[in-house]
Amino acid sequence: MNRYTPTPPENFGGLPEEHSLYETSRAVIYPVPLDRTSAHKHGTCNGPAAILSASRQIELYDDELDAEPFKDIGIHTLAPIDTMDGTIEEVTTEIFTAGCSLLEDDKFPVALGGEHALTPPLVAAVAKKFRSLSVLQIDAHANLRDTHHGSSLSHACTMRRVLELCPAVQVGIRSLSIEEAQAIPHLRTKVYWARDIARAPLKSWIAKVLGDLSSNVYLTIDLDGFDPSIMPATSAPEPGGLDWHQVTSLIRAIGEHKKIVGMDVVELLPQPGQHACDRLAARLVYKCLGYAFCHA
């Protein structure tokens, strides 16, 4: 990647060079401050910087894994890409190209959003490299519209585009149109409704999700999948969402039973006084890296 590279303490985790050089890092943080197709509130362009800033305040020892995952993994941080110049089609192509070059270098891509429209080009890059791929989406919204406001690249169409590349499992869903609901039986997706998960024992629904995923899994986590009581800082919060332990237990199980090959965390809309949300997002990224790489 021929780009300016954030050095300590600007990188994810404020890591020293020995644990954050591109050449020796297995994971690469890729900030994508995309904020162009939202029909709701703008501001997700500030998400990546808020996550990076919060990442330098969290503990880097993981009590659950009894490890310091950054030492095993190496985490490099790229400079954010320019998402404002050019058409949305050009920006989408640039995200795809950058994703391809990370994967060619055998890196584990971690995109920080930014809005959810960044996911399909990254999944396309991952699908070029990994066979038997499926996408695990955590989200309040189905995002299964074929077009939205005349565009097929809108955040509202993200999972419809993903399904053109590979099958998916959608977890925490609780907001969609009747057209999307009617399309679901005809699409290669499995939906785990938030209302069902709320009443189901943790182990039983997680086991079913694992059964629906293929051997290689890309994670796309829209932070509005969490309940707004713990994650109000998104552009389209919906009541009745997932809690921290439901989400982390699911991802831990996926890390233990599948190969996680890339991920994104999207839709953080940082707000004054809500630094808990920025920290949740940073902690989530770090947790996922630990689950993906550090097995007991």
x/- mask, Mn ion, residues 102-141, rule CB under 5 A, reads -------------------------------------xxx
Rounded least distance, CB 150 to Mn ion, Å: 20
| Binding positions for Mn ion, 139-178, rule CB under 5 A | 139-141
Beta bridge partners, 264, equal: 111, 220
x/- mask, Mn ion, residues 237-256, rule CB under 5 A, reads --------------------
- Residue closer to Mn ion by CB (options 35, 224) is 224
Rounded least distance, CB 266 to Mn ion, Å: 8
The C-alpha atoms of residue 10 and residue 122 are separated, in whole angstroms, by 24
- Residue closer to Mn ion by CB (options 222, 264) is 222
Residue 118 backbone class (left: φ over 0; alpha: ψ -120 to 50; beta: rest): alpha
- Residue closer to Mn ion by CB (options 71, 149) is 149
The C-alpha atoms of residue 215 and residue 193 are separated, in whole angstroms, by 23
Rounded least distance, CB 261 to Mn ion, Å: 22
Query: What residue number has its CB nearest to Mn ion?
Result: 141
- Residue closer to Mn ion by CB (options 139, 264) is 139
Note whether 278 binds Mn ion by CB under 5 A.
no
Taking the mean position of all CA atoms in its chain, how far away is CA 30? 11
| Binding positions for Mn ion, 206-235, rule CB under 5 A | 222, 224
- The tokens of 56 are what? 């330098």
Q: Give contact residues for Mn ion (rule: CB under 5 A).
A: 139-141, 222, 224
